Chains A and B, each alone.
Chain A
Amino acid sequence: MRDPDPRTVQQARAGDLRAFEELVRLYQAEVFRFAWHLTRDRTLAEDVTQDTFLRAFRFIHGYRGGQRFGSWLFAIARNCSMDALRKRGTVAEQDGREPRATPDASTRAELDAALAAVSAEHRDAFLLVEVFGLSYQEAADVLGVAVGTVKSRMFRARRALCAAIAVDDEEAR
């Protein structure tokens, strides 16, 4: 994840909409991808992305610079995703499609199915670290848990996914 120019954040905090727009451009793709992974629904992910930036603008005074801006934004995006899912009254549908088909669709499908089978807590840690490349500390900031917790959730998610691939290996033999 990239870091914004601290001056841009400072200006956005002072209510400068152009500075805030810069932050939107910088982070919207990652926020959207994260929301998509959590909701598995393109329309919902778009709403969540909009809602995330609305809340970020409202709460930007509360961002004190102690953590990376991206981690702070992801924490809001995660809250918004959960609110959206709760409002819709369903949890993530597991038959959602990737925004575009992948070349190695079979591995992806296996992984998606395996990821769907791990608990939401383990999946969130896995997404943040493996897919979005956050450090354990940053993922801990997003999830509001200790670094050690991220480490163990990450291991459990990884073990479940490896087991899914193992089954695949055996079937191929």
Chain B
Amino acid sequence: MNCRRVQPLISAAMDGAHLASAERRVVEAHVATCPDCSAFERRALQVRTAVRIRPAESVPDLTDRIMAAVARGSARPARGFRPRRPIRPRALVPAIAAAIAGLLVGSLVVGGPWDAHPRVAWASEIELGVRGAAPSVEAFQGSYTITERGLAPVVPERTLSMDVAFLAPQRFRLDVHDETVYPSNAWTPTNLTYVENMPATYLSGPSGCLGTLQPVDCASTTTITKAPYSAAPPVPADLVVPLATLGSVDGVQVLGEEQVDGHDTVRVQMPFSRAGPLFPFLQLGGTWRPFFADDVVTVWLDTAGWYPVRSEISPSPEPARKDWEMRFGLPHESPDAPILDVTLGSVATTPPDPSVFRIQGRKVVPPAEMGTVFGYTPAAPAEPAPLSLVAAIAPPPGPAAPTSVLLYADGLDYLRVAEDPRWSGPGPFGPVGLDAEQVTLPHVGPALYEPAGEGLGRRLSIHTPTTDLFVESNLSRDELFSIASTLDVSAAPIPVRWRVAHAGTLTLARTDPSAALRAMGLDTTTLALPTGYLPASATRSVEQGTEVGMTVTFRQPDSDAVGPPVLVHMGSVRDAAADSAPDPQRVSIGTTTGRYSASASELTWTDAGRSWSVQGDLDLAQLVTIASSVLEGRP
């Protein structure tokens, strides 16, 4: 070992890092004979003594001053909202503001020795701000202008207005009114109304009811959709606080600060595929132009209220977009010309009139009447704080619908307990899959847990001898578990028939992850997984009585913003031949050659007559590292 390797080890050991005993012996032997390294060690200890052993600095007592400022601050309205501002003409806003801001940001952020820091500082500030704002916002009203370009050659530009209203708990309304003058009446204007009032949802599409923020009372042409759980986050929520998009800033680029139409904002950028919730109207129906997954979304986020002031989509400069344009019959679009712009005109925290959220035909049950209406007392968490019960709902009957839903909320934070005492489905109650992690809730017992994803929050399915529960929430895993642990139920083990799923002749069965790893000849201590990943669940696949594959799913249980799962699969070689990834790329894994598919984020190889794969939303280098550790770790 040479000095270049030894000195970092000396440094790390001084700070309490653990060295393997062999490593320690080598370092000690080297230091004993090397004057440079022994001098380094001696001086490093001198530095330590000099900085640690010194007289106490005179530190002022700032308690009174701080508490006075905190008390002043806490008397202000939550989130530090500015008062309602008048709607301004937006003519000046986009082009000039962007041009000036571009210059400003360029000099502000790039210049100076503090170069990289503002971005790093802002990234954590955005996460903190957005997550902190979610539970504190009580009401929101915003009016926006949407400008869309490139819908069709005869409709080069459309202008729509949008109003968004939110009132805690869990009441949302979004209205889109199309102001475009169309070339003929063959075009249907995109007028939309969406109302969510606790767990019920109302949606009216084009030619539905027009007008803004009037109580919903529509003609028979409108449709009413009531999702059985309404477990998906409320559609317009990210316009109020972009929790889904920016609650974790992974994959988000912070560009800097600027003033937009009187708001102090921070400008961030991300691909369209990650920004969907910021454009909720696109998924509510009507006619919209298509967007490419890698199109560039720029968002100007108000730094006091953490709501988006402006969001803009520009064509991606990636060559792959050309193929996509051809598929959609679009002309080539320049990355310099935005194709969608959503600009906030006015914003207020004045509570909207509750009547604008009214939906006919669903039943809110007063807490005192729950026993009579439901025929049982729904299981409720004894300690839901800081959330509180806001409604008990009897959803309309349906094949997988619960018979009761209790909704708890605190601002935008929510938790729902859905229950069905007569559940007899083929799998766990609620949208919880076969690869869900089995967890044990203190005082309650076994439960199946799935992290947030597919439009749902973090969720638990709990089976008891007398009833089945589904708990879903946007709280952290720890908070969800801690509230669910106060449910007054005793869970039973997951029934055996729920551990199995059938797909054609293939049977998938849940199995114990440690047993699966043993069967695969793997050991978690030798697998080079990214930090924090642990085995969460495993499935065996069996075809006509023969075991054909084994998959272990690894997740990050400790991380609040849960990363994507990593799957390690072992199967028969026949199963690898069936693999038909559209974009295979040959990759070296040590002395073995593997195939990598970027679209599936999967690396496959064969070893000792078995096919193997590692799959996860990681970069290729990380997948190769895991694959090498699988190859090396096997006896």
Knowing A50-B66, A62-B127 touch, does A99 contact B58 (C-beta < 8 A)?
Answer: yes
How distant is the Cα of A33 from the Cα of B67 in the complex, in angstroms?
A: 19
Give the residues in chain A near B121, CB-CB below 8 Å: 78-79, 82-83
Q: Is B353 an interface residue (CB 8 A)?
A: no
B74 in contact with A131 (CB, 8 Å): no
Give the residues in chain A near B113, CB-CB below 8 Å: 91, 120
Q: Is A117 an interface residue (CB 8 A)?
A: no
User: What is the interface of chain B mostly: helix, strand, loop, or mixed?
Assistant: helix
Give the residues in chain A near B52, CB-CB below 8 Å: 130-131
The listed residue with most A CB atoms (<10 A of its CB), out of B16, B65, B478, is B65
Give the residues in chain A near B131, CB-CB below 8 Å: 59, 61-62, 64
Contact with A along B121-142 (1 / 0, CB 8 A): 1011101110110111000000
Closest Cβ–Cβ distance, residue B624 to chain A (whole Å): 18
Q: Is B318 an interface residue (CB 8 A)?
A: no
Give the residues in chain A near B58, CB-CB below 8 Å: 99-100
Closest Cβ–Cβ distance, residue B37 to chain A (whole Å): 11
Output the nearest chain B residue to A130 by Cβ-Cβ distance. B51
**Quick one: which of A40-85 are within 8 Å of B by CB?**
46, 49-50, 53-54, 57-62, 64-66, 75-76, 78-79, 82-83, 85
Knowing A59-B129, A159-B7 touch, does A64 contact B478 (C-beta < 8 A)?
Answer: yes
How distant is the Cα of A73 from the Cα of B128 in the complex, in angstroms?
A: 12
Give the residues in chain B near A15, CB-CB below 8 Å: 74
Choose, from B39-47, B200-208, B518-526, the stretch at the interface: B39-47
Contact of B8 among A50, A103, A152 (CB under 8 A): A152
Contact of A32 among B50, B59, B132, B560 (CB under 8 A): B59
Closest Cβ–Cβ distance, residue A114 to chain B (whole Å): 9
How distant is the Cα of A39 from the Cα of B578 in the complex, in angstroms?
A: 62
B15 in contact with A154 (CB, 8 Å): yes
Output the nearest chain B residue to A104 by Cβ-Cβ distance. B50
Closest Cβ–Cβ distance, residue B15 to chain A (whole Å): 6
Contact of B67 among A21, A151, A161 (CB under 8 A): A21
How distant is the Cα of A54 from the Cα of B62 in the complex, in angstroms?
A: 12
A100 in contact with B55 (CB, 8 Å): yes
Closest Cβ–Cβ distance, residue B190 to chain A (whole Å): 36
Closest Cβ–Cβ distance, residue A108 to chain B (whole Å): 7
Output the nearest chain A residue to B116 by Cβ-Cβ distance. A121
Output the nearest chain A residue to B411 by Cβ-Cβ distance. A61
Contact of B66 among A28, A33, A147 (CB under 8 A): A28
Q: Is B118 an interface residue (CB 8 A)?
A: yes
How distant is the Cα of A152 from the Cα of B4 in the complex, in angstroms?
A: 12
Contact of A17 among B15, B46, B57, B71 (CB under 8 A): B71
A66 in contact with B558 (CB, 8 Å): yes
Chain A residues touching B, range: 35 or more
B560 in contact with A66 (CB, 8 Å): yes
Contact with A along B42-85 (1 / 0, CB 8 A): 01101110111011011111110111011101100000100000
Output the nearest chain B residue to A80 by Cβ-Cβ distance. B121
Output the nearest chain B residue to A90 by Cβ-Cβ distance. B112
Q: Is A162 an interface residue (CB 8 A)?
A: yes
Contact with B along A89-110 (1 / 0, CB 8 A): 0010000001110111001100
Contact of A61 among B55, B71, B114, B132 (CB under 8 A): B132
**Quick one: which of A11-25 are within 8 Å of B by CB?**
13-15, 17, 20-21, 24-25
Q: Is B514 an interface residue (CB 8 A)?
A: no
Q: Is A29 an interface residue (CB 8 A)?
A: yes
Output the nearest chain A residue to B134 by Cβ-Cβ distance. A61
Q: Is B117 an interface residue (CB 8 A)?
A: yes
Output the nearest chain B residue to A131 by Cβ-Cβ distance. B51
Q: Is B479 an interface residue (CB 8 A)?
A: yes
B39 in contact with A166 (CB, 8 Å): yes
A46 in contact with B7 (CB, 8 Å): no
Q: Is B476 an interface residue (CB 8 A)?
A: yes
Give the residues in chain B near A166, CB-CB below 8 Å: 39, 43
Q: Is A4 an interface residue (CB 8 A)?
A: no
Q: Is B386 an interface residue (CB 8 A)?
A: yes
B51 in contact with A24 (CB, 8 Å): no
Closest Cβ–Cβ distance, residue B502 to chain A (whole Å): 39
How distant is the Cα of A54 from the Cα of B74 in the complex, in angstroms?
A: 9
Contact with A along B149-166 (1 / 0, CB 8 A): 000000000000000000
Closest Cβ–Cβ distance, residue B212 to chain A (whole Å): 32
Q: Is B496 an interface residue (CB 8 A)?
A: no
How distant is the Cα of A165 from the Cα of B51 in the complex, in angstroms?
A: 13
Contact of A79 among B74, B125, B560 (CB under 8 A): B125
Q: Is B19 an interface residue (CB 8 A)?
A: no
B65 in contact with A86 (CB, 8 Å): no
A28 in contact with B16 (CB, 8 Å): no
How distant is the Cα of A28 from the Cα of B63 in the complex, in angstroms?
A: 8
Give the residues in chain B near A24, CB-CB below 8 Å: 62-63, 66-67, 70
Knowing A49-B66, A59-B132 touch, does A130 contact B7 (C-beta < 8 A)?
Answer: no
A103 in contact with B62 (CB, 8 Å): no
How distant is the Cα of A107 from the Cα of B52 in the complex, in angstroms?
A: 12
Contact with A along B170-184 (1 / 0, CB 8 A): 000000000000000
B73 in contact with A58 (CB, 8 Å): yes
How distant is the Cα of A64 from the Cα of B116 in the complex, in angstroms?
A: 26
Output the nearest chain A residue to B478 by Cβ-Cβ distance. A65
Q: Is B17 an interface residue (CB 8 A)?
A: yes
Q: Is B592 an interface residue (CB 8 A)?
A: no
Closest Cβ–Cβ distance, residue A137 to chain B (whole Å): 10
B132 in contact with A136 (CB, 8 Å): no
A102 in contact with B55 (CB, 8 Å): yes
Q: Is B98 an interface residue (CB 8 A)?
A: no
A21 in contact with B135 (CB, 8 Å): no
Q: Is B11 an interface residue (CB 8 A)?
A: yes
A54 in contact with B66 (CB, 8 Å): yes
Output the nearest chain A residue to B249 by Cβ-Cβ distance. A144
Give the residues in chain B near A158, CB-CB below 8 Å: 11, 44, 47
Contact of A64 among B17, B44, B63, B476 (CB under 8 A): B476
Knowing A64-B479, A82-B118 touch, does A20 contact B129 (C-beta < 8 A)?
Answer: no
A62 in contact with B117 (CB, 8 Å): no
9 further A-B pairs in the complex, CB-CB below 8 A; given A13-B386, A99-B59: A36-B57, A53-B66, A61-B136, A65-B478, A82-B121, A130-B48, A136-B16, A144-B123, A169-B43
Q: Which 7 residue pairs of A and B lie closest in terms of their CB atoms, listed nearest first?
A: A162-B43, A62-B132, A62-B131, A59-B132, A99-B57, A155-B11, A79-B121
